[in-house]
């Protein structure tokens, strides 16, 4: 049965086909013959997640809807919901600014409001579908051990996806009206990053200040929160009750969320085209001026390359917001450091792996930008300097950026414990170098604007980068405790690097 062209159903089928192919390309890295391997990897992941879920939530399967349970479920749901809002905001912003097929559709005689209604619904679906694979193992374990009442949690996730999208669309449109098309892209990215990170960071900071631990659960389980929480009959607990299988609460929460989404679609979809047109005009009308230079600064090829990398990094709002997101997670360790300053507290031990891990992740992103995300590869390649010279300059740019970010923390740490500072410093350099090396082995030329899709281009590199960072973080943590066993995680991290090197396209194509 074929739908009438230009109708919402027709657009939905078009979007579904594109989304399906995108998903397939993402899972198979563009090679359909990898589908079987991807399916096996997914199956392994699902089994692994169910084991993790059993270990983490199995004991709560028969929890009664008392205040403590309601607080925990609400807190966890709120955390996930904020991340969903953040994700939905990013998707909505992308829908405004990414041109792709928008020019074709906006130039066609169809009623675009139908397409945008479908696109907003797609954002809601994507937000829900992204949360489901992570939540499903936990819900399944609870259903098996605690009974079908826990199936209500699936309904709660659908409601959260719908409500998060409605709020994200509303927020993005509000930003569009308040700060204008030119600034919305950057501001929305920052707001999305802050929303996504704020709650978890807030809980961690509260836990550090109140209990000296970085665990966010400490706050949710504290007597203070329980004492100030409303009674179990309060409306505030409806979402948690819905997850616990209360049918009335589930229907109310689900219906309210879907009505909210429908209202957002009805209000925003007819004007979405105008916003997209306004966003499309930004590139032509906006002129960013730099401070006029009187004369050229003395430089060398190496310095010119470094300076260029830093200048581009500082001037790209998308990249800055991505980096800001990573930097925000350094706030809790910084607070922990400040709280334990001068006390010689063993909590400092916790800082070492957090900082090393963060450096590895940040290093990987920056290395991708410097090595793969070169917008003028021909220019740099035709410069009269050896290729290794270019490479060294780019690595220097990456390490320089890492140094700027982490040096203040290392200096502060040195005042509290020179040994911890030394180990952390070494760990940061090694983790950043390892991430850079992985990016080097897996480099494939791309535009800087494709930064957010870098994980998709090589999942192997992404996993190698993550495991390498974890390995070096573990090494630093053990070494900071002056335990010779640090050699074990270090060997594992080296093994990860060796594996990445053996599987890298550079070696295979050599």
Could you tell me the smallest distance in angstroms from the CB atom of residue 365 to another protein? 17
Could you tell me the smallest distance in angstroms from the CB atom of residue 458 to another protein? 23
Could you tell me the smallest distance in angstroms from the CB atom of residue 193 to another protein? 20
Contact 352, 420 (CB under 8 A): yes
Q: Given the structure tokens 């070169």, which residue do they identify?
A: 374
The C-alpha atoms of residue 140 and residue 318 are separated, in whole angstroms, by 37
Could you tell me the smallest distance in angstroms from the CB atom of residue 182 to another protein? 11
Q: Which of 56, 91, 46, 72 shows the shortest CA–CA distance to 196?
A: 91
Cβ-Cβ contacts under 8 Å for 484 (sequence gap 6 or more): none
Q: CA 495 → CA 207, 356, 491, 505, distances in Å?
A: 36, 18, 6, 18
DSSP codes, 145-195: HH-GGGGHHHHHHHHHHHHHHHHHHHHHHHHHHHHHHHHHHHHHHHHHHHH
Instruction: Output 62 or 382, the one with its CB closest to another protein.
Output: 382
Cβ-Cβ contacts under 8 Å for 422 (sequence gap 6 or more): 414
Instruction: Output 294 or 482, the one with its CB closest to another protein.
Output: 294
Could you tell me the smallest distance in angstroms from the CB atom of residue 190 to another protein? 18
Instruction: Output 107 or 296, the one with its CB closest to another protein.
Output: 296
Contact 95, 248 (CB under 8 A): no
Cβ-Cβ contacts under 8 Å for 20 (sequence gap 6 or more): none
Instruction: Output 228 or 388, the one with its CB closest to another protein.
Output: 388
Could you tell me the smallest distance in angstroms from the CB atom of residue 170 to another protein? 29
Instruction: Output 312 or 494, the one with its CB closest to another protein.
Output: 312
Question: Which residues sit at the interface with another protein, rule CB under 8 A?
Answer: 283-293, 295-301, 303-305, 307-308, 311-312, 315-316, 375-386
Could you tell me the smallest distance in angstroms from the CB atom of residue 394 to another protein? 13
* SS3 state of residue 59: helix
Could you tell me the smallest distance in angstroms from the CB atom of residue 208 to another protein? 37
Instruction: Output 385 or 403, the one with its CB closest to another protein.
Output: 385
Tokens of 242: 């819905």
* SS3 state of residue 386: coil
Could you tell me the smallest distance in angstroms from the CB atom of residue 172 to another protein? 22
Q: Given the structure tokens 């079987």, which residue do they identify?
A: 36
The C-alpha atoms of residue 305 and residue 78 are separated, in whole angstroms, by 44
Instruction: Output 388 or 508, the one with its CB closest to another protein.
Output: 388
Could you tell me the smallest distance in angstroms from the CB atom of residue 303 to another protein? 7
The C-alpha atoms of residue 222 and residue 48 are separated, in whole angstroms, by 31
Instruction: Output 64 or 295, the one with its CB closest to another protein.
Output: 295
Instruction: Output 4 or 378, the one with its CB closest to another protein.
Output: 378
Q: Given the structure tokens 């961690």, which residue do they identify?
A: 204
The C-alpha atoms of residue 458 and residue 482 are separated, in whole angstroms, by 36
Contact 215, 75 (CB under 8 A): no
Instruction: Output 101 or 375, the one with its CB closest to another protein.
Output: 375
Could you tell me the smallest distance in angstroms from the CB atom of residue 390 to another protein? 9
Question: CA 108, 111, 116, 119 torsion: positive or negative?
Answer: negative
Q: Given the structure tokens 């897996």, which residue do they identify?
A: 442
Instruction: Output 371 or 428, the one with its CB closest to another protein.
Output: 371
Contact 169, 123 (CB under 8 A): yes
Tokens of 393: 């300059």
């Amino acid at each position: 049965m074929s739908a009438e062209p230009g109708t919402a159903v027709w657009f939905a089928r078009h979007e579904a086909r594109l989304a399906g192919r995108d998903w397939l390309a993402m899972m198979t890295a563009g090679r359909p013959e990898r589908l079987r391997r991807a399916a096996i990897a997914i199956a392994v992941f699902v089994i692994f997640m169910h084991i993790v879920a059993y270990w983490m939530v199995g004991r709560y399967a028969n929890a009664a809807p008392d205040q403590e349970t309601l607080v925990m479920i609400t807190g966890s749901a709120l955390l996930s919901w904020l991340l969903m809002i953040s994700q939905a905001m990013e998707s909505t912003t992308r829908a405004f600014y990414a041109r792709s097929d928008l020019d074709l559709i906006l130039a066609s005689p169809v009623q675009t409001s139908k397409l945008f209604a479908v696109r907003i619904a797609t954002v809601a679906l994507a937000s829900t579908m992204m949360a489901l694979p992570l939540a499903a193992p936990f819900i399944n374990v609870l259903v098996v051990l605690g009974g079908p009442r826990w199936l209500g949690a699936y309904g709660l996730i659908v409601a959260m996806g719908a409500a998060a999208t409605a709020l994200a669309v509303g927020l993005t449109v509000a930003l569009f009206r308040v700060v204008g098309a030119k600034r919305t892209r950057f501001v929305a990215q920052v707001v999305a990053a802050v929303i996504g990170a704020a709650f978890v960071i807030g809980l961690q900071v509260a836990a550090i200040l109140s209990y000296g631990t970085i665990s966010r659960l400490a706050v949710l389980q504290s007597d203070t929160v329980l004492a100030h929480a409303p009674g179990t009959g309060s409306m505030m607990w409806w979402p948690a009750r819905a997850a616990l299988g209360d049918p009335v609460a589930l229907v109310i929460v689900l219906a309210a969320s879907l009505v909210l989404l429908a209202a957002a679609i009805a209000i925003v979809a007819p004007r979405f085209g105008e916003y997209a047109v306004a966003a499309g005009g930004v590139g032509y009308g906006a002129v960013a001026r730099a401070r006029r230079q009187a004369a050229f600064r003395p430089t060398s090829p190496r310095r010119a390359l470094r300076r260029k990398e830093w200048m581009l990094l500082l001037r790209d709002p998308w990249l800055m917001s991505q980096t800001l997101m990573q930097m925000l997670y350094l706030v809790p360790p910084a607070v922990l450091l400040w709280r334990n300053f001068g006390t010689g507290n063993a909590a400092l031990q916790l800082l070492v792996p957090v900082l090393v891990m963060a450096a590895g992740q940040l290093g990987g992103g920056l290395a991708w930008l410097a090595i793969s995300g070169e917008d003028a590869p021909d220019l740099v390649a035709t410069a009269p300097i050896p290729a290794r010279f270019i490479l060294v300059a780019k690595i220097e740019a990456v390490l320089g950026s890492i140094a700027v970010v982490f040096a203040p923390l290392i200096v502060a740490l040195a005042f509290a414990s020179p040994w911890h500072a030394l180990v952390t410093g070494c760990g940061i350099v090694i983790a950043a170098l390892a991430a850079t090396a992985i990016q080097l082995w897996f480099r494939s030329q791309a535009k800087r604007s494709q930064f957010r899709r870098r994980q998709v281009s090589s999942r192997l590199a992404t996993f190698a980068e993550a495991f390498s960072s974890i390995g070096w973080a573990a090494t630093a943590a053990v070494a900071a405790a002056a335990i010779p066993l640090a050699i074990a995680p270090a060997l594992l991290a080296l093994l990860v690097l060796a594996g990445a090197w053996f599987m890298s396209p550079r070696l295979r194509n050599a």
